[in-house]
Amino acid sequence: MIPVRQRRWPSGEPTNTHTTALTALNHRAFSITGSSIKRPKCSSSQNDVIHPCQQVIAALIVQLATNPTRGMPTLAKSPLGNDAYLRVETPRHKPVTSSESDLSESKKEPSLRRQIVDGGPTSFKFTHLYRFATPLDKWLLLVGVITAGANGALFPLMAIVFGDVLTGFTSIPVDMDAVNKAALNFFLIAVAMFFTDYLSYVAFYYSAERQMKALRSEALKHMLYLDISWYDENDALQLSSRLTGDTVKIKDGMGQKLGDSFRFTVQFIVGFVIGFIRGWDITLVMACVMPFMTISLGWLIKTMRIKSDWAQKVYAEAGSVAEETLGSIRTVASLNGEQKAIKKFEDKVFEAERENIALHKMTSVVFSMFLGSVWIMYSIGLWYGGWKASKGDTTPGDVFAAFFGVMMGTGSLAQISPNVTAVSKAAGAAEELFTILDTASAIDAEKEDEGIIP
């Protein structure tokens, strides 16, 4: 092997000052420079014999002589022929600092808070929650929807019965037949509401519990089969929080909360239908406040959905910090890292606390305006109905039937809000968990017919 030094070739052509090695391979010498590899111009009488070990060492020098930060050289055949070789530059990457890396990551993956505040993900549909539903679960869901709707329709019917009772009491003498008929109707409505409420509760709860069992099992199985590279990019300690906390929210949103949403929605519709039948003009006067109530309720539901999704993410991160600290408490105590862990946990919790406080301040204002508009609607309807009854245009029974029909319908709006919010929270909690389920593993151990079996 020729020593590493600068050298002048027999042709008189000087080598580059950055020459790092000189090798002789297959009876030909090559000069490795910082920018190229040149074949020397040697006389035809030159016949060097190189030992195979020297060839190996020379090849190693070729690879190691170049500065590693600039990339490794690669030898390629020259298109000019004559067994000449050219140096092919390998791709060089500029060193990335930690600040640049954080900046690139923030551009690539926007923060969850920015994503949610700007409107949040819109690809997830509520029907995706039922991907693990069996035919039995679908039948139970159908029974629950029908019985919940029937239960919601029965409640406003009491407005008609109450109007008939009022008409019977105001007649002179008192119409006992009308009173007895109304009492029997109240009893029949009570029995029907008992059975429909029971069936809807059992159907929704049983269906949700069965699907949550399948979801937890499938989620755990999928997480265990994910490639290890996925865990390098995601916090594994958050998975337990999602399997416990998120699935509880999903079950609430798919269970009785969903049944109550159907029940109170039907109650609202049937209540206004009864109001229009018994006194259409009274119902229209009372409904003049409805646009304001609908807008405020819609804003409340949308905001709760967005904020709950973001808060669930922050609480999952805080839970992973607590779980990691408690899991290695001996190491944390030996390094006096308790205060650091507490501060890291408090930063996550306080961030969610500030947002939740601001949210509930605005929610309290909107909800108070909603309830205030409800009572304003009642006062307007009662005043207008009394004015019509005083003129003899309608009977007191029709006035109170229309009034109580609208009152029961609008009263259900206050009950719809928390139930629809729970359903929205279930959809928000399921989105992140179902994203994990839809993540394909680079190495799938379940597929026995793929890959190399040792």
Note the pLDDT tens digit of each residue in 327-356. Answer: 788 888 888 888 888 888 888 788 778 877
Above pLDDT 70, what percent of the chain?
67
Average predicted confidence (pLDDT) for the chain = 71
Cβ count within 10 A of residue 126: 14
pLDDT of residue 142: 92
User: How large is the angle between the packed helices 256-286 and 247-254, nearest 10 degrees?
Assistant: 50
Instruction: Please choose, from the candidates 438, 8, 3, 447, the residue with its C-alpha nearest in 3D space to the C-alpha of residue 223.
Output: 438
End-to-end CA distance of the chain: 42
- Find where tokens 């009372």 sit: 286
Pick from 428, 412, 417, 452: nearest CA to 153 = 412
Given this model, what pLDDT does residue 55 score?
A: 53
Contact status, residue 268 vs residue 154, Cβ threshold 8 Å:
no
Structural domains of the chain, with CATH: 21-88 (no CATH), 111-437 (1.20.1560.10)
pLDDT over threshold 70, residue 67: no
Average pLDDT on 157-167 reads 82
Question: pLDDT band at 453, cuts 50/70/90?
Answer: low
pLDDT tens across 254-299, in order?
888 888 888 998 998 998 898 888 888 888 888 888 787 777 777 7
Mean pLDDT of 146-166: 87
How much is the pLDDT for 400? Answer: 83
More confident residue, 422 or 306: 422
Report, as an integer, the average pLDDT of 169-195: 85
Per residue in 76-129, pLDDT (tens digit) is 444 444 444 444 444 444 444 434 444 443 344 333 333 333 333 445 677 777
Is 50 exceeded by the pLDDT of residue 210? Answer: yes
**pLDDT at residue number 393:** 81
Q: What is the pLDDT of residue 121?
A: 41
The tens digit of pLDDT for each residue in 5-45 reads 444 444 444 444 333 444 344 444 444 444 444 444 444 44
Token pair listed for 415: 């009950």
Q: Are strands 28-32 and 37-38 parallel, antiparallel or unpaired?
A: antiparallel
Return the pLDDT at 44.
43
Looking at residue 143, its pLDDT comes to 92
Give the pLDDT of residue 18: 38
From CA 173, how far away is CA 168, in angstroms rounded? Answer: 9
Q: What is the pLDDT of residue 417?
A: 75
Q: What residue spans of 6-97 are helical by DSSP H?
A: 52-64
- pLDDT class of 146 with cuts at 50, 70, 90: very high
Query: Could you give the angle at which helices 396-437 and 135-170 cross, rounded to 10 degrees?
Result: 160
Distance (Å, whole) CA 109 – CA 102: 10
| Predicted local confidence at residue 451, as pLDDT | 57
Q: What is the pLDDT of residue 366?
A: 79
Cα distances (Å, whole numbers) of residue 31 to 47, 77, 121: 17, 15, 59
pLDDT band at 380 (very low <50, low <70, confident <90, very high): confident
Please tell me the predicted confidence (pLDDT) of residue 192. Answer: 92
pTM of the model: 0.56
**Greater pLDDT, 196 or 368:** 196
pLDDT at 195 over 90: yes
Of 19-33, 187-201, 252-266, 372-386, the poorest mean pLDDT is in 19-33
Amino acid at 152: G
pLDDT > 90 in the chain, percent: 6
Rounded CA-CA distance 93/70 in Å is 8
